[in-house]
Amino acid sequence: MGDALDRLVAIGLLEDADIALDSAAMELAAADRVHRDLTVARGQMDDMAARLAARAKNSMAGRRAAAIAGLLAGTEGFNGDNNSYDAPQNADFLAMLDRRMGLPISLSILYVALARRLGWEAAILGVPGHVLVAIGGSGSRVVIDPFNNGNVVEKAGIAALVQRALGPQVALTPDHVQPLSNRAALVRLVSNPASRALRAGDEARALTLYRRMTLIAPDISSLWWERSRLERRAGDISAARRSLAAMAETTHDPALMERIRAAQEALAR
């Protein structure tokens, strides 16, 4: 397990642009496997990249979007798991590759990672309650939904997603559709099962996942806060203090620093 955690620490030390999404997602999934071997999964990605390159000769974003959806949703059968959406394996990248089913975020990582292997411009778009994939640059991008057969999503469809999440009175604005950094995408991947573990009352599992998130994204203050809270509830006061100290290194916000100090004082009582 030490080697697995060391690999996550290494991801946390990378510049965001240097993170290979598929490789990092595999490492996160492999942290739960005693006998880790990513050879098969890496071979799958290599094979799909080669076949995508063979069928995607056109440089137009629309043709590329159709090619990647045709391969992944059509030929390979990758799609969203509507029947067991909350199943933990849907957020496990290795299980998703085996089952050909997953969450919007795990499938979006697959699409974007594969597109980038070919040098395409591609991004994961955060939308309230959902994620989509953009193929191409801002002037010519095509938005597709990996959870729904890789179908193209027009502006009206994005507006419908926003209204479904925020209410029918909400009008679509650019703030509702934001590209996720590589690190933010990975955190979103892990936060899904962490949230479900908390709802199920499995705080030990949630703490394990928050520890992994702080390893790959050590600059996100909110992750350290939740990790500290779970460590305190588990009775590990020393660990909770260390997490608060790490959190203090991520911010210069006076209000947040005051919140950290108050929490540290509470732990000292």
Query: What is the residue extent of each domain of the chain?
Result: 2-179, 182-268
DSSP state letter for 136? S
30-33 CB contacts, 8 Å cutoff, 24+ apart: 30/4, 30/94, 31/1, 31/4, 31/5, 31/212, 32/92, 33/94
C-alpha torsion sign, points 229, 232, 237, 239: negative
Residue pLDDT, tens place only, 77-111: 999 999 999 899 999 999 999 999 999 999 999 99
CATH architecture of 2-179: Roll (3.10)
Closest among 208, 214, 216 to 234, alpha carbons compared: 208
DSSP helix/strand/coil, 142: strand
Q: How many CA atoms lie within 13 A of 213 on its CB side?
A: 28
C-alpha torsion sign, points 88, 91, 96, 101: positive
- The dihedral over CA atoms of 33, 34, 35, 41, expressed in degrees to the nearest 10, equals 10
- Asked whether the beta carbons of 179 and 134 are under 8 A apart, the reply is yes
pTM above 0.85, yes or no: yes
The pLDDT value given to residue 1: 55
- The dihedral over CA atoms of 119, 127, 141, 66, expressed in degrees to the nearest 10, equals 70
The pLDDT value given to residue 37: 86
The pLDDT value given to residue 2: 62
CATH code for the domain defined by 182-268: 1.25.40.10
Pairwise CA distance, residues 79 & 75, whole Å: 11
Ranges of the chain whose pLDDT falls below 70: 1-2
Sequence-ordered list of residues with C-beta below 8 angstroms from that of 201, at least 6 positions apart, any chain = none
DSSP code per residue over 48-73: HHHHHHHH----SHHHHHHHHHIIII
